[in-house]
Structure 1
Amino acid sequence: MNFDDLNISDEIKDAINDMGFERLTPIQKLSIPEALKGTDVTGQAQTGSGKTIAFTIPILSKIFIPDRSPQAIILCPTRELCMQVASEIAKVGNNIRKLKVLAVYGGQPIGKQTRVLKKGVHIVVGTPGRVIDHIDRGNLDLIGVESVVLDEADEMLDMGFREDIETILESTPHQRQTLLFSATMPKDVIRIGKSYQKNPKFIKIANKKKNIPKITQYAFKCNIKDKFDGLTRLIESYDVRLALIFCNTKKSVDFVAKHLRKQDFNVDSLHGDMKQVVRDKIMNKFRNGNINILVATDVAARGLDVVDVGAVINYDVPQNSDDYVHRIGRTARAGKSGLAFMLVSKDEIQRYNKIKKDNNIKITEKELPTFQDIEYIKNKRVLNNAKSLIEEGNLDEYLKIIKNELECSGVDMAAALLKMIREN
């Protein structure tokens, strides 16, 4: 099914075309026609399945531009996701003149958001806490809202936003359309749907990524006291440009980051105790490659979308199967391949086995690389780089010097050069 087949305006079709999209993803194909009819929708699909456009098109199709009060509100779990969603909506609505979209979230001065709200906006994308703040201050009136979207509903409830979500929903008109999207459907998400939706159309997209074919997954069983040493060996063995390390607690994040710094790794950390402005700076450094290792907790890394993450390392085994899928999904973005490692101590084996069973995934168990393995890998890496240079050519100038000066075998010279590179 193509976007041209949808009963939507040419402005939206042209914008979608400019974005390079032609065919609808499964969640878009099943949910957009229903939502365009005004039906409430509950959609279960994984991150990256095209959910944002699935709710953006029906919302934009209903916006009445002369009315500058909020007509749609989208709730997201994190600041990063708010910014991402607001940006996507602006792109889809690029050809709709005078459309105003605003993202509201913590960590940004509330005064700036207040001034924009006072001037009038059509669509508000926000984290539940900051939306409540604006409602309490009288900056945000939801009486004219026709569409409410709960995006990544499971994550919002995991983060303790249930009460805020219910308060916001109670502040909107009863006859609104409610669209709920979630990667998983725990009981709390189902309860929210039953309480606030009217005869919703339930759409579930089979998670074809469960086996995650582009992510090679390894588990390394070790004693808890050997975990950090095992971590450093993995980092040295697999020459990854950007690596994301997950820990279950802030204390563990601080420990890992501190000791990696002591070993001269280019590393920083991210957890919930940090101010948003600090977290933003660290995220930008990671995105730009100014640091190549980021150690984080699950909550701090939600909404994190960095295309070039080459490996995800689970320093601690995640608390549940969904967290594991969320974590390793941070690599192999935009069609690339990636690596996922998990360090498993004896007291984590039960959780590890449950993750394998629940997700029906192939995790290959391996021994941690030894010191000798690492030396061999590093030497081979240098030789492979040298082979690439030979294939590229452009060595005439250097060949001339070697032929004139060489007084030993080529093999001896190569070995000496390798030793110089590795030991200096």
Structure 2
Amino acid sequence: MKSFESLGLSGALVQSVLQIGFETPTPIQEQAIPVLLSGNRDFVGLAQTGTGKTAAFGLPLLELTDASIRETQALVLAPTRELGLQIANDLENFSEKFKAFNIVAVYGGASISEQIRKVKKGAQIIVATPGRLIDLVDRKAINLSTVRYVVLDEADEMLNMGFKDELDKILSFTPETKQTWLFSATMPREVREIMKNYMTDPFELQVGEKNTSNANITHNYVLVHEKDKYLALKRILDDNPQIFGLIFCRTRIDTQRIAEMLMKDGYNADALHGDLTQQQRDRVMMKFRDRSLQILVATDVAARGIDVDDITHVIHLNIPDEMEFYTHRSGRTARAGKRGISIAMISRRELGKVKQIEKALKTTFTKMPIPTGEQVCQRQLLALMHKVREVKVNEDEIATFLPAVYEELQDLSKNDLIKRFASIEFNRFLDYYRNAPDLNIEDRKPGEHENERYRLGGRFFINLGKMDGMEKGDLLELIDDVTGVDGKAIGKIELKGAYSFFEAEKEKVDDILNGFKDIEYNGRQVRVELTGKAPNNSSRDYKRGKSSFMRKPGGKKGSGKKPG
């Protein structure tokens, strides 16, 4: 295995890296750094999240940047402010014993005047989110004509988040002579388009097989009825007392609801979603990073770019529809060579999705039983005993209090003391889990219908689809906002161009049909019908407008927010 010294880095830069605690380069670092140090060729690196990509491009970037020139020479683009701040912090740490660079992070939700002030002091390296960077360029606060190196980090995530137009605009401001380094966990068609349009004969490096998951992630699934998912989630959390994990939900409403339920039930949890202010978001992330928060419940969009070490579990309360989303979710754990666990909580009709992910990622999911109440009690009791064994005793300060303690407990034997002490914590779980039902369900029995329509109320037609900017999460959010029927009651969703189909539980049929009466979306009336097939005129071409919905005059007005 190679060392950092052997990769061609300067001695002072190597010392900075070793001081941080990096001992040997990861595969992406070992193979990318020598190529990037040449500084004369575009580069594409395909590797999973958590494999050390920041150092792979960051160390060569610092080596090639001239600290004596007070103009912007390097630009790093990241999809989220969290990832941007992490990259800027890493670059500062890498260069601490090397050279004095002015590295500036620019992102939305913070003082733009303060960021302009820092840039005008002479920022050799700018780490930016696309939206804020364009704002600063338009204000003529940043000059990209001097940029020699552009890094697109998490390129697939930026494109998934809808930043294609922004990337096109930003890259048009940079010189044609620049070198472009692109790093991505997946390689969808849109990323290939960026390579085709903005890169010349790039050196392509792939670490690990394409469309494979991190080998250090154990992929599990639990089979549970939709109505029992929250109870099963609590069992999983209670069965892992030392968990430091992420829970993913499909919508912002579900994310907030699950987080509030967990907090009410005594768990150290909080939510991260798009409805939070930047100040609230920063507070939550700070608590999660310093581990004063044990469980973070998040949406896919809000959690993109989270780079937090030592996450033990990723739990998918709803398995995502897009393969890339599952890859990015599960990639939050098992970072930097560590191991992690990804758990998908699914109903029987979602078994097919698990099989699709297995095939695409060339991995295997293991069915994991939901712990019984007795198993949870035993795990919690042993965790308490481990704390007792490992607790640090302050001999000097506790000494003066011990005589009174000994006197109070003098008539109890050793066994009595252990039983009473253990029961302080154990009784709480025993009371809760006494006579707890088994939440496990069996795999599908032969002959059962794939969509479980025996328990669904049928198939609904709605005249909204992809042409309206709809994704499955958007439609679920709209149904919830308009009718009060949440995602748990919704079955299979089929998105078409100008219309869609979805299934719902029998008892929700009337709520859905009545809820969508007199609703307008994008300035036109929404039609929802209980049907086995789309009406003949359902292919009508609708124009996409501003995303909003409302009731007609006299009806109840909706939120006016775009779901998602």
Alpha-carbon distance change, 340 to 141 in structure 1, aligned in 2, over 3 angstroms: same
1:343, distance to aligned residue in structure 2 (A): 0.8
Identify if the C-alpha distance between structure 1 residues 94 and 209 changes in structure 2 by more than 3 Å, giving closer, same or farther: farther
1:15 maps onto 2:19 in alignment:
no
Structural mapping, 1:15-414, within 5 Å: 15-21=16-22, 23-37=24-38, 38-206=40-208, 210=212, 212=214, 214-382=216-384, 388=389, 405=411
Letter in structure 2 aligned against 1:36: L
Does structure 1 retain, via aligned residues, the 8 Å contact 2:48–2:331? no
Provide TM-score, normalisation by structure 1.
0.88
Distance, in Å, in 2 between the alignment partners of 1:41 and 1:421 is 55
Q: TM-score, normalised by structure 2?
A: 0.67
Report the CA distance between 1:319 and its aligned residue: 2.3
Deviation track 1:250-276 (CA, whole Å, cap 9, x = no partner) reads 121022112223323222100122222
Cα distance in 2 for residues equivalent to 1:282 and 1:113: 23
The offset of 1:72, in angstroms, is: 1.1
Choose 324-333 or 230-239, whichever is displaced more.
324-333
Which deviations, in whole Å up to 9, do the C-alpha atoms of 1:313-332 show, x marking residues without a partner?
Answer: 11111223332232223234
Query: 2:390, 2:37 → 1: CA distance?
Result: 57
1:153-191 Cα distance to aligned partner (Å, 9 max, x none): 011111111110110100011111111111111110011
CA distance in structure 2 between the aligned counterparts of 1:17 and 1:369, rounded to whole angstroms: 43
CA offsets per residue over residues 268-301 of structure 1, 9 Å max, x none? 1001222222111011122233332211012211
Note closer, same or farther for the CA distance 1:64–1:265 as it changes in structure 2 (3 Å cut): closer
Q: Secondary structure at the match of 1:281?
A: helix
Task: Report the Cα distance in structure 1 between the residues aligned to 2:241 and 2:91, rounded to whole angstroms.
Answer: 37
Aligned to 2:506: none
In the alignment, is the contact (CA less than 8 A) between 1:39 and 1:177 conserved in 2? yes
Secondary structure of residue in 2 paired with 1:405? coil
Between the aligned partners of 2:265 and 2:369, the Cα distance in structure 1 is 23
Q: Distance in 2 between matches of 1:389 and 1:30?
A: 42
How far has the Cα of 1:240 moved from its partner?
2.8
Q: 1:337 to 1:34 in 2, by over 3 A?
A: closer
Q: CA deviation at 1:401?
A: 7.7
Residue type of the partner of 1:173? P
Q: Relative to structure 2, which stretch is displaced further, 56-65 or 127-136?
A: 56-65
> Residues 118-156 of structure 1, C-alpha deviation per residue, up to 9 Å, x if partnerless?
221111110111110100111011111111111110111
In 2, distance between residues paired with 1:379 and 1:13? Answer: 46
What residue identity is the alignment partner of 1:203? L
- 1:422 counterpart residue number: 426
- Once the two structures are TM-superposed, the CA of residue 206 in structure 1 deviates from its matched residue by 1.1
Q: Structure 1: which 5+ residue stretches go unaligned?
A: none
Residues 80-104 of structure 1: per-residue CA shift (max 9 Å, x gap): 1111211222233334544211111
Does 2:7 correspond to 1:3?
no
TM-fit CA distance, 1:29: 3.2
The 1:419/1:35 distance shift into structure 2, 3 A limit, reads closer
State how far apart, in whole Å, the 1-side matches of 2:264 and 2:183 are: 43
Structure 1 residues 373 and 74, CA gap change in structure 2 (3 angstroms)? same
Q: Is the CA contact (8 Å cut-off) linking 2:211 and 2:362 kept in structure 1?
A: no
Contact kept in structure 1, 2:49 and 2:332, CA below 8 Å: no
**Pair 285,69 (structure 1): closer, same or farther in 2 beyond 3 Å:** same
Structure 1 residue 49 displacement after superposition: 2.4
Task: Map Cα deviations across residues 57-95 of structure 1 (whole Å, 9 max, x no partner).
Answer: 333333233431211111011111111211222233334
Relative contact order (C-alpha < 8 Å, sep 6+): which is higher?
1
Contact 2:101–2:124 (CA under 8 A) maintained in structure 1: yes
Q: Deviations over 1:325-374 (max 9, x none)?
A: 32223234455443332210234222222122222323221332233433
**What letter matches 1:423 in structure 2?**
N
Shift of 1:22: 5.2
Q: CA RMSD in A?
A: 3.1
Give the CA deviation at 1:110: 0.3
User: Following the alignment from structure 1 to structure 2, what is the Cα–Cα distance between the partners of residues 255 and 147?
Assistant: 44
User: Residues of 1 paired with 2:408 and 2:316: CA distance?
Assistant: 47
Identity %: 38
Give distance in 2, aligned partners of 1:155 and 1:236: 33
How far apart, CA to CA, are the structure 1 residues paired with 2:63 and 2:368?
53
CA contact (8 A) 2:72 2:123 kept: yes
Structure 1's 54 and 162: CA in aligned 2 closer, same or farther, altered over 3 A?
same
SS for the counterpart of 2:145 is coil
Partners in 2 of 1:357 and 1:95 — Cα distance? 46
Mapped partners of 2:286, 2:146: distance in 1: 37
Please give the alpha-carbon distance, in whole angstroms, between the structure 2 residues aligned to 1:338 and 1:54.
22
